[in-house]
Structures are given as structure tokens and as C-alpha cells.
Structure 1
Amino acid sequence: MGFTSAWSISAHEDAFITELVPCLGPLIEAEETEPGARERWERWQTSGVDDDLVHLVTGGGHVQRLYRGLTDDDPFCVMDDVWGQEGVEERLFFSAFSKDWAVRGLFQAVGPARAALLPGWCGNFVLTSAEVRDTLPRIEEALSCGPLEKADADRRSGLDYLPDEESVLDGPLRMWRLAAQARIGLCGVSLVLD
């Protein structure tokens, strides 16, 4: 069965980030506390077993609810309310793959120790401008690399990019630096498009 996954990192003013926290925060926490999630994370951290990584990045379906809307009473959805914001395309990293997950590719590229430096849970996070600045050194440690190391990491990711498409190593680092310099927050969402 085919699917297309997407991972986005978008930069927003703190006022909007503050609105996102009560919506996205509990869904990310639910993914992290999904039965078996922590155990899979620990197992992947120590052994690098890909089956555990696949289960982690596909998640428990909590964040996925943001794709179409949370409920009939709360129609908030990522496509309209986050990706559809005016001017967001200038402050957006968006990576979509058929039959694969961008976050899985990133984690395979950098390995368990560096993946553990990323905030949130498996590509999902909502950070204020202060949190972006606080986490930038960890992101630079996790994602910065020289040309040879980057070529090897891109190979390990297993992802095939279109010409001029930003990689899962470059896009997140660009977004963190942009947000830190502009003193704005970040929202990361990984889900399946249908």
C-alpha cells in the first residue's frame, strides 16, 4: 500500500506558537507516552534496529489528527492553520516522500546519539523563540558536518531527493538558524498525507 509522508518545520511569532502549544503539545506527549514508544526509543538508541525506528516515526496517530482537523468542534488542521499562514512559505522547510518518512531518513543519517539531541518527539515539536535559541547549539551539533561526512549521512538516510530539493540535514538546520536570528519560534510536524 502506498503512502506519502511529510515533515514540516515552520517558523512563527511567539504569539502563534503560544496558541499552538495547547493544541500540539498534548498530541506530542501522547505519541511519546504511547505504549511501547519509550522502549522502542531506548532499543533503537542502543541497537539501531530499523523496525523500532519505523514504529517510532509512524507514531500512534495522535499528531496525525492535525492533518484533517482535530474534531468537528475544533477544526484546527496543519494544512490550513499552520502551512496556510500568509508568508509562511518563506519560513518553511517541507519534505515529502512516497513510501518513506523524512524523519526516519534524518535519524538514519545522523544516528541514535545525534538524533537524541533533537527536541520534541520524532520530528514533532513546538518551541518558543527562547527555546529555539536554547536548542540551537544542540541542533548544530546534531546536524552540522563537513562535505565528506554529509555525503555519507545523505547515503545513510536512504532518501532520494529531487534536484534542488533541500535535504533533511540542511532544512532543519537552516530553519533553526533563521528562527534564532529572527527571534521567532518553530513548529515541527511529521504526518502522512492522504
Structure 2
Amino acid sequence: MGITTAWSISAHNDNFISTLAPRLLPLIAAERDEPSARERWDSWRREPLPDFRTWWQPFGQSCRREEDALNSLHELTASGEHVQKMYDGLSPDGDFSLLTDVWDLVTGAEDLFISVQSKEFALRSFFHAIGPDRAVLLPGWCGNFLLTSAEVRETLPAVERALGFTPQERAEAEDQDWLGYGDDEESVLDGPLRMWRQAAADARGLCGLSVTIY
């Protein structure tokens, strides 16, 4: 059975960020502090995966290490069970919904980046395309974060370093982003940095969420 996933980054005022913080920050911390998640992160940082076009070739016995590394990255970049509870309505305050209480509050298209994918996680392609040395500069944990306007300004230089590319670097990253985009769809290589720059200019906070919709 297939899945549909979403990775979103939305801009909000600080009052909303402070309201959301007690609900979301402990869940992000729980994801980050799981030993298995840290092991997967450290493994990917030590040995990034090769060109994604080699991943689906048959793995022989001598390639077991590569297969394990691929499975590890897949687990790392899938939506985590803790943050996922906020979408599924299974968090302690189950009347709170990411759909109606976060996403539906965004009134301007410029205040939201969202990548919805069928049978895939946008974060997985994004992480592979930019690599671990850039990904480590991003705040939060695996696409999930909640930042006040002050924290957006503080983290913008690091995000600029992570997502600023020379023409050659951009071409290499695009070559490893397998999602494909329609004319009106924003790339995972563009949307996050746009949101950071805009939020910093507008003195707004940011909420990033990676979840399985169904």
C-alpha cells in the first residue's frame, strides 16, 4: 500500500510560535534523542550514499553494507512517530490538528512551502541532494523545527551556508534530487531558503514539519 507524505515550512507570528512550542518542541526533542536515530544520523554523516541511480540495482552479497546504509537513510528521513502523532491526533492534546491548527492558518501562499509526495519523502531527496555537511547546519531535527523570529534571524547565516550553491554545486544537487517538479511546484532546494529569508525580513517565526498524510 502506498503512502502520501508532506514536508512543510510555514511562517507565523511569535505569539503563535509560543503557543505551539509546548506541543511541538518536546516531540522534536524525543525524535532527536532516540539512540537509533542518532546512530542513523552519525552513520550517514560518516558515509554519505552514492548517486541515487545506483540504489535500486540488485544488491549482491558484497553490497550488504550499502544496502544497510540505504535502509538507515530511509529510516532517518521518514516521518518520526512522535511528531507524526500531532498529525494523527494521537498526541496528549488530541484535539489539536496540524491540518486545521497550523496549515489552515496560513493565508498567503508566500508564507508556506510544502512538498507533497506519493510513495516518497521530500526530506529524503532533499537530504541526499545537499549531503550531510550541509544538512548539519540546519536547525531542528530531520526537517522538524520551531523557531521564533529571533531564532530565524540567528540561524539564517547557517541556512544560507547550507543552501547557498555555486552554479556547479547547484547542478550537482539538482542531479541528486529525484523528485521532479511541475511548472507551479517549488523545489526542495529553493523553498526552505526562500522561507528563511522572507521570515527574517518580516520578523516572523517558522514551523517545519515532516509527516505522513496517509
Q: What is the alpha-carbon distance in structure 2 between the residues aligned to residue 187 and residue 88 of structure 1? A: 15
Give unmatched runs, 5+ long, in structure 1: none
Residue 86 of structure 2 contacts residue 94 of structure 2 at CA under 8 Å; is this kept in 1?
no
Residue 78 of structure 2 contacts residue 124 of structure 2 at CA under 8 Å; is this kept in 1?
no
Residues 1:97 and 2:97 are matched in the alignment: no
Map of 1:188 onto structure 2: 208
Residue 34 of structure 1 contacts residue 60 of structure 1 at CA under 8 Å; is this kept in 2?
no
Q: Decide which of 80, 83, 90 is 1:63's aligned counterpart.
A: 83
Greater C-alpha radius of gyration: 2
Cα RMSD of the aligned pairs, angstroms, is 1.5
| Runs of 4+ off more than 4 Å | none
Give unmatched runs, 5+ long, in structure 2: 49-68
Map of 1:129 onto structure 2: 149
Residue 4 of structure 1 contacts residue 98 of structure 1 at CA under 8 Å; is this kept in 2?
yes
**Which stretch shifts more, 80-89 or 115-124?**
80-89
What does the per-residue CA deviation read over 1:101-149, in whole Å, with 9 as the maximum and x for residues that have no partner? 1111111111010000010000000000010000001111111113332
Map of 2:162 onto structure 1: 142
Q: What is the alpha-carbon distance in structure 1 between the residues aligned to residue 109 and residue 32 of structure 2? A: 29
Distance 1:71 1:62, change over 3 A: closer
Alignment of 1:1-194 (within 5 A): 1-48=1-48, 49-71=69-91, 73-194=93-214
**Which stretch shifts more, 120-129 or 35-44?**
35-44
How many matched pairs?
194
1:187: Cα distance to partner?
A: 0.2
* TM-score, normalised via structure 1 length: 0.94
**Which stretch shifts more, 176-185 or 153-162?**
153-162
